[in-house]
Amino acid sequence: MHRFVKRVSQKISKLSQPQLERLFKIINEENENFNSVFDSLSIGLVIVDKKFRIMQWNKASERYLPLRIRPEDSKSGMQPFWELIEDEEISNFIKKCCCHEITNVCDEFTLATSSGSVRFITVSLVPLVRHFDAVGTIISISDNTEKRNQEVLLHRMESLASLTNLAASVAHEIKNPLGAISIHIQLIQKALKKARENGNLLPDKKFVENYLDVVNEEIGNLNKIVVDFLFAVRPVSANLELVDPNKLLERFAEFFKPEFEQDGIDLNVELCTDCPRLLVDSKLFRDVITNLVQNSIAAIKEKVDSQELCKDNYKGKFSICSKIKDDKYILFLSDNGIGMTEQTVSHIFEPYYTTKPNGTGLGMTMVYKIIKEFSGEISVSSERGKGSRFIITLPVPQTDTLLLANQKS
């Protein structure tokens, strides 16, 4: 580097005055072009040196970050960057990352504006590297408010569509018991009328009791439909905490082992090593796995009973596997049971959809709602006669993402 500077200095010293002026003009133009591009970026950028003092910033960073002192103020160059930030949460986050040399991280923050609205800001830190050495930190700030608002709007539209379908399903479910109640009340009315015509005050007691039993039974069915409906529309109440999924799944496998052995089903468990903790509700997580396992056991039994699809050497198999990919925890639950048709797969998470004679059609709805409450995703692939595979994807919390990154390095 020293020799390069020396060579450049020697060449500059040989330039004439007009050549020097032209060179400086080109350098100034390039610098102005860079500054124009830098200031035109929609993402806020702040570059700090090794002592965390501002070296450069753009206009977007001033728009997004609430600052006590403007960067161009002479005092700002003497202080660590986090001391210029008004918001305590963002200031503490940047201070912690800088002081502990934590880079390649990001976090989202909520800011209240003077108008009373809310903005969602994401702050990211990456090292500024020059000649393989970290000489500072690049702090980027992006405004995700519009994206968040669109997500909220989309979620509301999906919820409205789901509620419309749910209301249609409930109306269909209510129709049958209401019809039965109406018919039996009419029969009781006819019996009362006939008894009065024959000079009796009341019809045969046993006759009336039979009809009333049917009415009571249908009222019970209506009550169950209402309870199920409330379950389907009410949000899941989750007590989220950081838990080790391997411990939960190992305990779960041990609990279900006798049932698998009794039904002659091979159980295979392959869990990822150095597994990070997940932000979930332990009880609800167990409910999800229980529901999926019970469905798999039922699918395997159905295949055993099916002469058309089951071969003589068939043996039921169920596996639980997990892995980490791109800061996501992915859980696979697979079976070689009866499988599902394309139509069933496309409707499986919808309320009241069931292929079982005595099913409520709410089990998989519950599974879907719980996984969504964990900020996760669930999908299924299946082939009739070959089996099904459920894939649950859950985010690894920021704290454990850092631990995971340190383990990899």
Of 272, 262, 259, which Cα lies nearest the Cα of 324? 272
pTM for this model (two decimals): 0.51
Q: Which residues pair with 328 in a beta bridge?
A: 325, 395
For 139-149, how does the pLDDT look when each residue is reduced to its tens digit (9 = 90+)? Answer: 898 888 888 88
Task: Please report the domains of the chain, with CATH numbers, ordered by start residue.
Answer: 41-143 (3.30.450.20), 167-233 (1.10.287), 241-408 (3.30.565.10)
What's the pLDDT score for residue 403?
A: 46
Range among 68-82, 136-150, 317-331 with highest mean pLDDT value: 317-331
- Min mean pLDDT across 17-26, 103-112, 298-307, 370-379 is at 17-26
For 20-60, how does the pLDDT look when each residue is reduced to its tens digit (9 = 90+)? Answer: 777 777 777 777 777 777 777 888 888 888 888 888 888 88
Q: In the predicted model, what is the mean pLDDT of residues 160-183?
A: 74
Both tokens assigned to 143: 């405004």
Q: In the predicted model, what is the mean pLDDT of residues 94-105?
A: 84
H/E stretch holding 249 reads: helix 245-262
Strands laid side by side in the 118-130 sheet? 54-57, 44-49, 133-143, 118-130, 105-112
